[in-house]
């Protein structure tokens, strides 16, 4: 690996995961939490837990995009996607869809991307630089 491009790779990963996931979060802001409240209620979770989606799909991506508390943002994304799979996929985690893709491939991509960001940190192309807090 060319170590001179490592920070560019981290930036590309942060922007890809952050921007694509925040679009889902913005949709939930504008559409309201009712759909998420129904999902958590159907799984016998307290309805207030539905608001946690904003941590994982708005706050987490913002932290990741800007590179501020990046590792925490990555963990928020990872935890959010684990909860999303538990609530929406149930026992169908290991099945394939009609085109042969993994049923939870999008959730896995976002969640494991968040975990990778939490492990790698922001790099030097971030608000606080490579040596910033939790970067």
Give pLDDT tens digits for 14-48: 999 999 999 999 999 999 999 999 999 999 999 99
User: 98 in a domain, yes or no?
Assistant: yes
Distance CA 66, CA 36 (A): 27
**Cβ–Cβ under 8 Å, residues 117 and 71:** yes
Looking at the domain assignment, is residue 129 inside a domain? no
Q: Tell me, yes or no, whether 100 lies in a domain.
A: yes
In three-state secondary structure terms, 102 is: strand
pLDDT of residue 4: 82
86-99: pLDDT as tens digits: 999 987 899 998 89
pLDDT computed for residue 80 by the predictor: 98
pLDDT of residue 1: 56
Query: Domain for residue 125, yes or no?
Result: no
Contact partners, residue 67, CB within 8 Å, separation at least 6: 11, 14, 122, 123, 125, 126, 127, 128, 132, 135
Token pair in block for residue 129: 């630089």
The answer to whether residue 112 scores a pLDDT higher than 90 is: yes
Total of domains in the chain: 1
CA distance 14 to 67: 8
Residue 39 lies in a domain: yes
Tokens of 104: 């939870």
Judged by DSSP in three states, 98 sits in: coil
The CA radius of gyration of the chain, in Å to the nearest whole number, is 16
Residue 134, in any domain of the structure? no
Which domain range does residue 47 map to? Answer: 3-120
Query: How is residue 113 written in tokens?
Result: 């991307």
Does residue 128 lie in a domain region?
A: no
| Placement of tokens 């994982």 in the chain | 56
Retrieve residue 79's tokens: 């935890």
Taking only the tens place, the pLDDT of each residue in 52-97 is 999 999 999 999 999 999 999 999 999 999 999 999 998 789 999 8
């Amino acid at each position: 690996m060319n170590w001179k491009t490592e920070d560019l790779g981290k930036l590309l990963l942060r922007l890809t995961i952050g921007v694509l996931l925040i679009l889902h979060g913005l949709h939930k802001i504008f559409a309201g939490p009712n759909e998420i409240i129904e999902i958590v209620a159907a799984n016998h979770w307290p309805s207030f837990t539905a608001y946690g989606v904003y941590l994982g799909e708005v706050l987490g991506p913002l932290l990741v995009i800007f590179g501020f508390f990046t590792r925490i943002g990555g963990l928020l994304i990872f935890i959010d996607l684990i909860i999303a799979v538990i609530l929406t996929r149930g026992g169908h985690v290991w099945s394939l869809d009609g085109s042969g893709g993994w049923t939870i491939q999008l959730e896995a991509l976002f969640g494991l991307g968040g975990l990778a960001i939490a492990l790698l940190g922001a790099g030097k192309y971030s608000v606080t630089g490579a040596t910033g807090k939790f970067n």
